Structure 1
Amino acid sequence: MTTNTRLPGGLAARLAETALVAAPFHLADGARLDSYFDEYRLAADPELLRDTAAALAGLVPGDAQLLAGIELGGVPLVVALSVATGLPAVFLRRRPKGYGSRRQIEGAPFTGRRTVLVDDVVRSGGQLLAMARVLRMAGAPVSDALCVLERPLGGRALLAEHRVTLHSLLTEADLSTGKGEAE
């Protein structure tokens, strides 16, 4: 199963209350959403971040050796998830740093380690796919990705076409209906 439909402690409601913002949001491709998931509000709440990471930990494949957080929304999630799972982490920039280390991948050694991508929201899947390619080219096998929220904009299908299985904690419907709550 790729979506966690039973969450502890009212987590879906807490995420919706804290991070779901009912306001226009413009995507990079020009599309407009009526609401958006504000990952900064999630990351700024230590208890909610801890509880979200604990729930995400249950979605990490058993053979994972490394977690990879995508800038910027995936970084606090991957740090919290690393603590929750005991797995080391790397941090991915969209482009190599223009100065200093000039690296695109920072953190733990990654070559040959089965890596799971981590991000806050998946829409079209393009960003996760690009980062999977970066990791694969650098020698880190990637076949799974985790997110807090999956919006139904084709991301799951695109990733599947490229042999990446998406595991989402919540879908858009879970946040609006309260589904996903433990009874």
Structure 2
Amino acid sequence: MADLTVRLTETACVSAPFKLSDGTHLSTYFDEFRLASDPALLHDTARALADLVPTNAQALAGIELGGIPLVVALSAATGLPAVFVRRLPKLYGSHRQIEGADITGLRTVLVDDVVRSGSQLLTMARTLRMTGSPITDAVCILERPLGGRQTLAEHRVTLHSLLTEADLPVRQAGDAA
């Protein structure tokens, strides 16, 4: 695991200006696209994430956009069917918010790259629960200590993270992915 942490840090932890959707500015961030574009690293990360997927899981749900390449790789590593969840329904074509396998009634695990506050995963858990998919777990690559684990737990979702901020090299105060 130590080697994977080093590889993830070297490849995906970027020191550059970055603006989050809430307007917060960061000087370092986790770039999931650098991870997803490295086939060997994506494969190894998916195999490590597979160990975090509960044994009773029946399906996986990748969250737009960072969770999509991860859920594809994790589906291949686990053999579980996958769906892809948009924040909003598509405005053309299928008009769907959830694409992929039929997971109605299946114990589904949410998949995302970074968890901060947990609000995005919580929104997606609600969406999937409304379709009849029990959601009790979520997996991510990186967990930042911004309350996400607690928020999810309050809504009966257990977070399983591959890495936490403490696993990364020391950064300046205020930096986050």
Alignment of 1:147 with 2:140, yes or no, is yes
Question: RMSD in angstroms over aligned alpha carbons?
Answer: 1.0
Letter in 2 for 1:109: D
Aligned match of 2:72: 79
Aligned match of 1:164: 157
Which structure's relative contact order is higher, taking Cα pairs within 8 Å and 6+ residues apart?
1
How many Å apart are 1:23 and its aligned residue? 1.8
Which residues in structure 2 correspond to 1:85-124 (within 5 Å)? Answer: 85-124=78-117
1:65 touches 1:87 (CA, 8 Å); kept in 2?
A: yes
Q: For the residues of structure 2 that align with 1:150 and 1:32, how far apart are their CA atoms?
A: 18
How many Å apart are 1:103 and its aligned residue? 0.5
The percentage of counterpart residues that share the same residue type is: 74
Structure 1: gaps (5+ residues):
1-6, 178-183
TM-score by length of 2: 0.93
Aligned match of 2:12: 19
| Local SS of the residue matching 1:22 | strand
Q: For the residues of structure 1 that align with 2:168 and 2:42, how far apart are their CA atoms?
A: 16
Structure 2: gaps (5+ residues):
171-177
Q: Deviations over 1:121-173 (max 9, x none)?
A: 00111100000000000110000000000111111111011010000000112
Alignment of 1:49 with 2:42, yes or no, is yes
Q: Deviations over 1:10-67 (max 9, x none)?
A: 0000000000001232222222222100000000000000000000000000000000
1:15 touches 1:175 (CA, 8 Å); kept in 2?
A: no
Structure 1 segments (4+ residues) deviating >3 Å = none
Aligned length: 170
How many Å apart are 1:75 and its aligned residue? 0.5
Q: For the residues of structure 2 that align with 1:93 and 1:30, how far apart are their CA atoms?
A: 21
Aligned with residue 29 of structure 1, among 17, 22, 36: 22
TM-score by length of 1: 0.90
